[in-house]
Structure 1
């Protein structure tokens, strides 16, 4: 039987329609978009068509979109552009949350080591930044240039930030504002011109596009340093020959995401409801991280609290993999050791419970049958691990 893939928050398979759209770029549209001849002009037209589609993800102007290699590059570029726009070497105060992606946290930790002031505010139980902590964090820093980066949708829980409120707070504090929208673009309606958002990051492979392609939104009128020099591409903001094939794929994936957003949402809501109800019936003491309307429905994060379900949580995803199910865990493997997720710890889970967390995530191609079979595999794996861990666990047999 075919393996079941329920890890779409990590990456998504390329949509066949996206693949078909990319083929001309591999075969016929091979010109350099910067060249003036016919082949170059044809390639340039493909790039600009894709830019229009990507801009529609945010309700932005095409001229505000800069193509990049993905979310990590976009996040890093936004931080350094904000640093430059805030005054270069002038004192800066950066604010972010304790549950951001490492593409935000690690660059800011580097800046902190260089004596830049960085504050990491707390989050709620859905890993959404506590906006009521922002004012207190900015208090007394009137002599500093303020910058803030908060993700729109958390990649582990699906928790949704009230972007309008966050942007209004940034505006009231004369603060440059960046949002990592890698998990939200194409999944939530966004009207970025109605918000005070200066920068936003996007990625193709989260919406059934190719890996190695992404974009950075830069609000019109922003004066920024280029993220890469050595050419006049992307209006001088990112030098280097454009990744034509990746950009075409990103553009088509963006077009389809906007077109099918409502239908995908309806299906994801049903899939998440089934997942949470079935797992809740089987294991009544689980915790759903990011449950309810305040979370994106394509992400379902489930914690098996260590005190209720004593087992070696490090093995959950490996056991699922051996049983033909691909899911993510609440930990990251670094140099052979398992480290609890900083997001799970930020929302209040202890180390053992963080490691005993499973993230199931759905994509545009995920079927109801796949989810039903996948959830049953997970239940069988967890029950077997409980049976092996302690005689007491036999009293926690999964209910039908």
Structure 2
């Protein structure tokens, strides 16, 4: 059976060059980077090189990059670290209704502990209105967090403009760039951000390693305690093999970004055009003009997205009905809800995300399978398509 993977926003395969770079650090080069003898110093050099590679991808300085266990940890460190460090200045945080649950759940925890959180609505295309951010700021606001690219619908937020608003009011600005990293150009200095979360497994690196960019000179509270690793900011022996893999993936991403964006954008547009042209009653969610190069979030009216997913799986095709972190939940997507999509249509939504290994032939196979599946499911649906939901 043909196998087609169209869930690159959930995770990506580790590229061969990345795996090759990692392998020696499981066996021959296993030294602890904190050790002072030669094996440890060799590991420290590899750690420093990976930090340089990740920093180069985002145009930061190496000493501004701190490795974490994942993107979710980076989000938690940013929000808890900033909230604790600035608690004497205020207790108000601003974020959006479409953030990853790593941010939403962290904010919910803070709300239970005396902090106030404003959750900004978004426009129908999934983007934040800068005026809404301005109106939400109070004299108690200490942190603003807006994700750079949404993980479900792929909308790219106006981060530079939002960060400028934060700076104008002397407020820290954090962005979750897990979906943005290597998919759009990022220059942290040009964007004017203070904190930024990243993850390796979204850019053809290994799972279990992420990073937090912390602008030089900015002090936030530590999240993990117990050692002097990561320049005294994050305790715990570094996951060296995975960090080396992150570094190599970042190096490849920087070198191949232009081709990656072109390849994914062309296939995404081809997929969207074929589906919307050849399958009636379908529509795309999220911004068309400001969009992740590989994301096609599409609603199929009158049928369940989960049924589409399962029937596609029988044909060797992997897709998602939402973000990977919430795909087992029966609750409607909080992102699509925030965009104003009716609940019944939310349940008919599928997220397709293409990547470096996707081919035009893959897209053709998927669309032909989709046409057959959608026709079959609609024939079985109790909903009368002519009357709507």
Instruction: State the TM-score, normalized to the length of structure 2.
Output: 0.95
Cα distance, 1:149–1:298 mapped onto 2, change above 3 Å: same
Q: List aligned pairs for 1:108-127, cutoff 5 A.
A: 108-127=107-126
The answer to whether the 8 Å contact 1:126/1:158 transfers is: no
CA distance in 2 between partners of 1:5 and 1:345 (Å): 27
Equivalent position SS for 1:260: helix
CA distance in 2 between partners of 1:114 and 1:395 (Å): 48
The one of 179, 187, 199 equivalent to 1:191 is: 187
Cα distance, 1:342–1:277 mapped onto 2, change above 3 Å: same
CA distance in 1 between partners of 2:281 and 2:71 (Å): 35
1:97 aligns with 2:96: yes
Partner of 2:224: 228
The one of 152, 159, 162 equivalent to 2:158 is: 162
Count of residue pairs the alignment pairs up: 388
Cα distance, 1:236–1:36 mapped onto 2, change above 3 Å: same
The answer to whether the 8 Å contact 1:287/1:302 transfers is: yes
Shift of 1:348: 0.6
What runs of 5+ residues in structure 1 fail to find an aligned partner?
Answer: none
1:288 aligns with 2:287: no
1:302 aligns with 2:298: yes
Cα distance, 1:135–1:353 mapped onto 2, change above 3 Å: same
Equivalent position SS for 2:248: helix
Equivalent position SS for 2:160: helix
Deviation by residue 1:62-111 (Cα, 9 ceiling, x = unmatched): 0000000111000000001111232x355311000010000000110111
Cα distance, 1:336–1:40 mapped onto 2, change above 3 Å: closer
Cα distance, 1:163–1:102 mapped onto 2, change above 3 Å: same
The one of 274, 278, 286 equivalent to 1:278 is: 274
The answer to whether the 8 Å contact 2:321/2:327 transfers is: no
CA distance in 2 between partners of 1:297 and 1:54 (Å): 21
Shift of 1:322: 2.0
Cα distance, 1:337–1:252 mapped onto 2, change above 3 Å: closer
1:238 aligns with 2:230: no
4+ long deviations beyond 4 Å: 331-337, 390-396
Partner of 1:381: 373
Q: List aligned pairs for 1:5-16, cutoff 5 A.
A: 5-16=5-16
Partner of 1:371: 363
What runs of 5+ residues in structure 2 fail to find an aligned partner?
Answer: none
CA distance in 1 between partners of 2:323 and 2:264 (Å): 24
The answer to whether the 8 Å contact 2:128/2:157 transfers is: yes
Partner of 1:343: 335
Equivalent position SS for 1:187: coil
Partner of 1:268: 264
Partner of 1:4: 4
Instruction: State the TM-score, normalized to the length of structure 1.
Output: 0.92
Shift of 1:123: 0.8
Partner of 1:136: 135
Partner of 2:24: 24
Deviation by residue 1:293-325 (Cα, 9 ceiling, x = unmatched): 311121110012xxxx32234422122212221
Partner of 1:362: 354
CA distance in 2 between partners of 1:166 and 1:362 (Å): 28
Query: Aligned Cα RMSD in Å?
Result: 2.1
The answer to whether the 8 Å contact 1:330/1:354 transfers is: no
